Amino acid sequence: MEKFFRRNFAGYAFLAPWLIGFFLLAIGPILASLYLSFTKYNIVRPPQWIGLDNYFYMFQFDDRFKKALQVTFSFVVISVPAKLIFALGVAMALDKGIRAIGWYRALFYLPSILGGSIAVAILWRQLFNYDGVVNSALRLVGLDGPYWLADPKYSLWTLIVLAVWQFGSPMLIFLAGLRAIPQELYEAAEIDAAGPLRKFFAITVPLLAPVIFFNLVLQMIEAFKSFSGAFIISGGSGAPLDSLLFFTVYLYDEAFSYLRMGYASALAWVLLLIIAAFTAIAFWTSKYWVHYENERG
């Protein structure tokens, strides 16, 4: 017993802050929100158990919930692949010792660093104004841009562009992955008379698959979590016509505008399950297309 204590003391002493945080701020709240999701709770009066009512209501009657799901899925499904393709394209252009790579890398990464800030969200609102920069640019080529922010048909695109604009971190990760592919493989392929397209699909893609997978999972989770851009650009409400009602925005609105803490907790759990499901699907399918080099047949 004494030996057991001595062996574990240092480890747990160093882990203590994290452990406290984990129980108080992570697992505790996750379980608490599961409980709250079965209640009606407005902070003023104590939580009142209502079973699965929040969930029934959500799936049967709540049109805003459905709208939020639709908006969020559209955002994830369009912005994540677009961002990754763009990131990979630029990374490939940067690979193989191009001149001034440091400059390009820094320039391309800068938006990712600033992109989460309110300043950029504010800027975006102005760029996509009817008489903003984007429409001015379109006018140069003779196009009449729409009311990006006021027209529900177009509003989501502003956020998709904002997301793709921040392609810097997946790009850096791709770049590191590309560097790890041995040059000899391309040379061997060249001797085998492979063209650029064939080299890309026969060497780059399979060898980069673990990195692509990693970026995919990560960016997906990030996309589901994203909040401040949508919050600022939609004025905090998901406007116009809830076309920017991200799940996170809806959740915030329910919790802190209407103080429906129980219902918002149910929304939180649905979000958690959606992310978990998407991640699980990604992992499950990955065994068909991701092969790790040190894997044994």
Partner 1 sequence: MTDTAISATTLTAQQYREARARRAKRAGLLKHVFLIATSLIMIYPLIWMISASFKPDNQIFGSLSLWPQTFDWDNYGQGWNALSVSFTRFFLNSTFVTVLSVIGNVISCSFAAYAFARLEFTGKNMWFALMMMTLMVPYHVVLIPQYLLFLNLGWVNTYLPLIVPKFLAGEAFFIFLMIQFFRQLPRELDEAAMIDGCSPFKIYWAIIMPLSLPAMATAAIFSFIWTWEDFLGPLVYLNKVEDYTVPLALRMFLSQDGASQYGPMFAMSILSILPIFLFFIIFQRLIIRGIAMSGLK
Beta carbon of residue 294, minimum distance to partner 1 (angstroms, whole number): 17
Q: How far apart are CA 90 and CA 237, in angstroms?
A: 35
Beta carbon of residue 297, minimum distance to partner 1 (angstroms, whole number): 26
Q: How far apart are CA 268 and CA 265, in angstroms?
A: 5
Closest CA to 88 of 178, 207, 185: 178
Decide: is 68 part of the binding site for partner 1 (CB under 8 A).
Answer: no
Q: What is the DSSP letter of 245?
A: -
Decide: is 218 part of the binding site for partner 1 (CB under 8 A).
Answer: yes
Which one of residues 75, 155, 224, 253 is an interface residue with partner 1 (CB under 8 A)? 224
Q: Which is nearer to partner 1, 156 or 162 (CB)?
A: 162
Q: Which is nearer to partner 1, 166 or 297 (CB)?
A: 166
Q: Among residue numbers 5 through 34, which ones bind partner 1 (CB under 8 A)?
A: 7-8, 10-22, 24-30, 32-33
Binding mask 144-163 for partner 1 (x = CB under 8 A): --------------------
Decide: is 84 part of the binding site for partner 1 (CB under 8 A).
Answer: no
Residue 168 CB coordination number (10 Å): 22
Beta carbon of residue 199, minimum distance to partner 1 (angstroms, whole number): 13
Q: Which is nearer to partner 1, 70 or 126 (CB)?
A: 126
Decide: is 129 part of the binding site for partner 1 (CB under 8 A).
Answer: yes
Q: What is the DSSP letter of 47?
A: P
Q: Among residue numbers 229 through 288, which ones bind partner 1 (CB under 8 A)?
A: 231-232, 235, 248, 251-252, 255-256, 261, 264-265, 268-269, 271-272, 275-276, 279
Decide: is 132 part of the binding site for partner 1 (CB under 8 A).
Answer: yes
Beta carbon of residue 267, minimum distance to partner 1 (angstroms, whole number): 8
Q: How far apart are CA 51 and CA 42, in angstroms?
A: 16
Size of the site for partner 1 (CB under 8 A): 93
DSSP codes of every residue in 158-213: HHHHHHHHT-HHHHHHHHHHHHTS-HHHHHHHHHTT--HHHHIIIIIHHHHHHHHH
Would the CA dihedral through 18, 213, 158, 260 be positive or negative? negative
Q: Which is nearer to partner 1, 10 or 193 (CB)?
A: 10
Beta carbon of residue 32, minimum distance to partner 1 (angstroms, whole number): 4
Q: Which two tokens stand for residue 250?
A: 């809806």
Q: Which residues contact 148 (CB under 8 A, 6 or more apart)?
A: 128, 129, 130, 132, 134, 135, 154, 155, 157, 158
